[in-house]
C-alpha cells in the first residue's frame, strides 16, 4: 500500500433487500483500543450502516501513523438484542509514530449520492505498556459445535429467499445480565455478558467493557469449552459466558454498564447443495464445495444497562464510618505484651467479614503519649471468588516507646453499612495494656525509620517540651538584644543587590522556573474550550495525578489524598496547600462519576488546579 496517497477510493456497490429502506443510514469511525503504547497497535474501522448504495469511502489522514495492514473490507449485519442492521466496513491496523493524543479526522463516504462525514476519533499513545492493545483477542473457534448441546443442523441450511440477517438474529444474541439494577454505594453487583447461540462460529471479543466508576473483580473470563443451556421462547440455546465480574460502585447516581462487542464469522450451506450431497446431519466428513457455502460476518453487541446507585444514608452515620459496606467485625491484639525500650512492639488489627473488603484501608490508631506508631503493613487474606468478597485484612502496626512504663491503648471502633438491613453498625475492641521495661539504651528507630509516622516529631516535642521552650526563649531574648543594639549603632544604608549567588543553586532555580512554564494541564485546557469535549473531568483527573506523580516521584497508581498529603508534608509543602489539594482531588473524583449540568464548574476547577500547581512549584523553588 502506498502511504503517500491521501485518498483511497473504493467502488463498493451493495444492494440491501431487507431493512434498508426504513433504517437510518450512518457513517461512523471507531478506534479500539483508545489508549495504547507507542509500540502497540490499534484498529480503525469505518462503518456504513443501512445504505442502499455506497459509491466511495475516503479514509482519514494517517499522519503520525504507520498503516500495518488494510484496508480490509467486510460486510454483514449487526444485532443488538435482536434489533438488526446491515453494514459495510473498512478496517485498518495502525501503529503510531509518536506519543500524545492523536486525532484521526477527515473520513467521508458518498452514500446514495450524498457525501457524509464521520466524527473524528482520538487515540492516546503513551511510552509505557497500556495493557489495552488487542494483542491476543479472545478467539472462540467452533462455538456450538455440531454434536454439542442445543444445535440443530437445520439451522445451518439456507433456503432460497431466506433472509440471512433474520436467520442469524434468531439464532445468536449477546446479552448483559445483572443480579440487580439498584444498589448502594459499595454494594456489589454481578454483571455477566453471555452469548446465546445455536450456530457454529469463529468469534473474537473486539470490545471489552472497562467498567468506569466501579471497583472490579473478575469472576470468569471467556472460555470456549464451557457452556450451559437455557431456553428462550421455547428454543434451547448454548450459553457461553464471555465475561463475569462483581462490581462495587464508587459514587452515587446512574451509572451505565458498557456494551461488549463480539465479532463472528458464520458459514451456512445452501439448501439445494445439502440435498444434492445428501448432507443432513452436519458438516463433518463431507467435502463441501465453496460455491455451496454462504459466509456471514456478524457483529453482536449487548444492550447497555443502567445501574441506579443510591447514596449511603446520612441518618445514623457514625463518626467512625469510613466507607465499609457489608458485614464485618474487628479484632486486635499484641504480638507480645511486654518488651523493652530497645525493641519495637507489633499491634495486629484484623477486619474480617464480607463486602467491599478490597476498599477498606487501615484504621487510625490513637497512640498514647510517649509511643511512636509506624505505617502499617498489610496481610491480605481475601477470597475474591465469593460474592461479595469475603475473608480478612490484617494490618500490622509496629510501634516503640522511648521510656519505660505502662501504656493504655484505647478501644478501636469500626463502623460499616449493612445493605441488607439498611442500617449502620459499629463493632469495637476492648482496651489493650502494654508494659515497657527499660532497655540498654539502644534505639529501635534506625530499623523502623521508614515506617515512622509523622506524629513522631510531635511526640518528641511533647516529651522534651520544657527544654525546647527554654531554648526558644533564650534565642528570642538574644535576638531581641542584637536587634536593639543594631538599631542604635548602625546608620541606615541602601544595600546593593546581591549578585554572588551560588551558581549551582541559581541553575536549579532557573531549571525549576523553566519547567514551571510548561502547562501540565494542556489536554484539560484544550478540552475546556471545545464545545464537543465530554472528557473534561477524566482529563483533569489524569493530568493532575500525572503532575503529582512526576513532582513527588510516585507511581500514578499510588496517588491518593493520603499518600499525597504524606509526601507533601515531608517535602515541606504548607499544610494549607495540602488541604486545598486534598479537597480538589475529592471534588474531581466526585464529579468524575456523577453527571452535572453546571458546565461553569469546569472553569472553576481548572483555575483552582492551575493555582495549586503554581503554589506547589513556588514551594519547591523556595526549598532549593
Return the HEC string of 321-387. Answer: EEEEEEEEEEEEEECCCEEECCCCEEEEEEEEEEECHHHCCCCCCCCCCCEEEECCEEEEEEECCCC
Q: The whole model's pTM is what?
A: 0.50
How far separated are the first and last CA of the chain, in Å rounded?
55
Looking up residue 349, the CATH number of its domain turns out to be 2.60.40.10
Domain membership of residue 347 (yes or no) is: yes
Domain membership of residue 46 (yes or no) is: yes
Domain membership of residue 17 (yes or no) is: no
Domain match, 445 and 467 both: no
Domain match, 446 and 458 both: no
Q: Identify the domain boundary among 254, 281, 310.
A: 310
Between CA 550 and CA 556, with CA 552 as vertex, the angle to 5 degrees is 55
Q: Identify the domain boundary among 274, 289, 310.
A: 310
Residues in the chain: 624
Domain match, 301 and 185 both: yes
According to the model, what pLDDT value does residue 113 have?
A: 80
Quick one: DSSP state of residue 290? G
Task: Give the span between the Cα atoms of 573 and 622, in whole angstroms.
Answer: 10
Domain match, 439 and 472 both: no
What are the two backbone dihedrals, phi and then psi, of residue 268, each rounded to the nearest 5 degrees?
-115, 160
Domain membership of residue 3 (yes or no) is: no
Reply yes or no on whether the pLDDT at 428 is more than 70. yes
Contact 388, 355 (CB under 8 A): yes
Looking up residue 38, the CATH number of its domain turns out to be 2.60.40.740
Domain match, 186 and 81 both: no
Residue range 255-279, pLDDT digits in tens: 999 899 888 888 887 776 665 555 5
Domain match, 347 and 438 both: yes
- Supply the range of the domain harboring residue 463: 454-492
Domain membership of residue 12 (yes or no) is: no
What are the two backbone dihedrals, phi and then psi, of residue 54, each rounded to the nearest 5 degrees?
-125, 120
Task: Give the span between the Cα atoms of 270 and 440, in whole angstroms.
Answer: 93
Domain match, 157 and 301 both: yes
Domain match, 176 and 203 both: yes
C-alpha Rg value of the chain to the nearest Å = 33
Contacts of 9 (CB under 8 A, 6+ apart): 56, 57, 58
Domain match, 163 and 290 both: yes
Residue range 88-107, pLDDT digits in tens: 778 787 888 888 899 998 88
Q: 363: closest CA among 381, 346, 380, 348? A: 348
Domain membership of residue 497 (yes or no) is: no
Assigned C-alpha cell, 317: 452515620
Domain match, 287 and 144 both: yes
Q: Identify the domain boundary among 492, 522, 540.
A: 492
Domain membership of residue 295 (yes or no) is: yes
Domain match, 583 and 460 both: no
According to the model, what pLDDT value does residue 191 have?
A: 94
Q: Is 171 exposed, middle or buried (0-12, 13-18, 19+ CB in 10 A)?
A: buried
Q: Domain count of the chain?
A: 5
Residue range 317-332, pLDDT digits in tens: 998 899 999 999 999 9
Residue range 197-244, pLDDT digits in tens: 988 888 888 888 888 888 888 886 655 567 888 888 888 898 988 888
Residue range 28-64, pLDDT digits in tens: 888 877 888 777 778 888 888 877 677 788 889 888 8
Domain match, 153 and 227 both: yes
Amino acid at each position: 500500500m502506498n502511504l503517500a496517497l491521501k485518498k483511497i477510493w473504493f467502488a463498493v456497490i451493495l444492494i440491501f433487500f431487507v431493512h434498508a429502506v426504513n433504517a437510518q443510514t450512518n457513517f461512523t469511525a471507531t478506534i479500539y483500543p483508545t489508549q495504547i503504547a507507542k509500540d502497540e497497535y490499534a484498529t480503525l474501522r469505518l462503518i456504513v450502516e443501512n445504505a442502499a448504495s455506497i459509491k466511495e469511502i475516503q479514509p482519514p489522514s494517517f499522519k503520525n501513523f504507520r498503516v500495518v495492514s488494510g484496508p480490509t473490507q467486510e460486510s454483514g449485519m449487526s444485532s443488538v438484542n435482536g434489533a438488526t442492521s446491515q453494514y459495510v466496513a473498512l478496517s485498518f491496523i495502525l501503529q503510531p509514530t509518536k506519543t500524545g493524543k492523536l486525532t484521526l479526522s477527515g473520513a467521508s463516504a458518498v452514500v446514495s449520492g450524498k457525501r457524509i462525514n464521520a466524527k473524528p476519533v482520538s487515540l492516546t499513545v503513551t511510552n509505557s505498556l497500556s495493557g489495552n492493545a488487542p494483542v491476543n483477542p479472545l478467539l472462540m473457534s467452533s462455538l456450538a459445535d455440531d454434536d454439542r448441546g442445543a444445535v440443530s443442523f437445520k439451522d445451518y441450511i439456507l433456503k432460497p429467499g431466506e433472509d440471512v440477517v433474520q436467520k442469524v438474529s434468531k439464532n445468536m444474541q449477546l446479552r448483559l445480565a445483572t443480579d440487580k439494577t439498584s444498589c448502594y454505594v459499595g454494594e456489589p453487583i454481578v454483571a455477566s455478558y453471555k452469548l446465546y447461540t445455536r450456530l457454529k462460529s469463529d468469534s473474537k471479543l473486539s470490545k471489552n467493557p472497562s467498567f468506569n466508576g466501579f471497583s472490579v473483580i473478575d469472576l470468569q473470563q471467556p472460555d470456549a469449552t464451557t457452556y450451559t443451556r437455557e431456553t428462550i421462547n421455547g428454543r434451547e440455546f448454548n450459553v457461553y459466558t464471555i465475561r463475569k465480574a462483581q462490581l462495587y460502585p464508587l459514587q452515587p447516581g446512574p451509572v451505565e454498564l458498557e456494551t461488549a462487542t463480539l465479532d463472528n464469522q458464520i458459514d451456512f450451506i445452501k439448501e439445494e447443495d445439502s440435498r444434492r450431497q445428501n448432507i443432513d446431519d452436519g458438516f463433518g466428513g463431507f467435502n463441501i464445495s465453496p460455491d455451496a457455502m454462504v459466509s456471514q460476518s456478524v457483529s453482536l453487541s449487548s444492550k447497555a444497562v443502567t445501574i441506579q446507585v443510591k447514596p449511603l444514608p446520612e441518618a445514623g452515620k457514625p463518626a467512625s464510618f469510613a466507607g465499609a459496606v457489608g458485614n464485618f467485625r474487628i479484632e486486635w491484639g499484641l504480638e507480645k505484651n511486654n518488651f523493652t525500650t530497645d525493641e519495637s512492639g507489633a499491634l495486629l488489627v484484623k477486619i474480617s467479614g464480607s463486602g467491599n473488603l478490597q476498599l477498606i484501608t487501615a484504621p487510625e490508631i490513637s497512640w498514647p503519649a510517649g509511643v511512636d506508631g509506624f505505617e502499617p503493613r498489610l496481610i491480605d487474606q481475601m477470597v475474591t471468588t465469593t460474592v461479595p468478597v469475603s475473608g480478612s485484612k490484617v494490618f500490622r502496626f509496629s510501634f516503640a516507646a522511648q521510656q519505660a512504663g505502662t501504656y493504655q491503648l484505647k478501644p478501636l471502633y469500626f463502623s460499616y453499612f449493612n445493605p441488607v438491613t439498611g442500617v449502620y453498625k459499629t463493632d469495637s475492641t476492648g482496651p489493650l495494656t502494654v508494659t515497657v521495661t527499660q532497655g540498654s539504651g539502644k534505639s529501635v528507630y534506625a530499623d523502623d525509620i521508614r515506617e515512622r509516622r509523622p506524629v513522631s516529631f510531635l511526640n518528641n516535642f511533647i516529651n522534651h517540651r520544657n527544654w525546647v521552650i527554654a531554648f526558644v526563649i533564650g534565642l528570642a531574648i538574644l535576638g531581641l538584644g542584637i536587634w536593639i543594639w543594631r538599631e542604635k549603632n548602625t546608620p541606615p544604608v541602601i544595600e546593593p543587590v546581591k549578585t554572588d549567588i551560588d551558581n549551582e543553586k541559581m541553575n536549579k532555580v532557573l531549571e525549576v522556573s523553566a519547567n514551571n512554564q510548561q502547562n501540565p494541564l494542556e489536554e484539560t485546557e484544550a478540552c475546556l474550550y471545545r464545545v464537543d469535549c465530554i472528557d473534561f473531568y477524566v482529563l483533569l483527573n489524569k493530568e493532575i495525578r500525572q503532575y503529582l506523580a512526576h513532582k513527588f516521584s510516585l507511581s500514578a497508581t499510588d496517588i491518593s489524598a493520603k499518600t499525597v498529603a504524606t509526601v507533601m508534608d515531608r517535602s515541606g509543602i504548607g499544610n494549607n496547600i495540602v488541604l486545598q489539594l486534598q479537597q480538589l482531588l475529592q471534588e474531581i473524583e466526585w464529579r468524575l462519576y456523577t453527571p452535572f449540568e453546571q458546565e461553569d464548574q469546569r472553569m472553576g476547577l481548572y483555575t483552582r488546579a492551575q493555582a495549586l500547581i503554581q503554589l506547589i512549584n513556588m514551594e519547591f523553588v523556595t526549598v532549593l
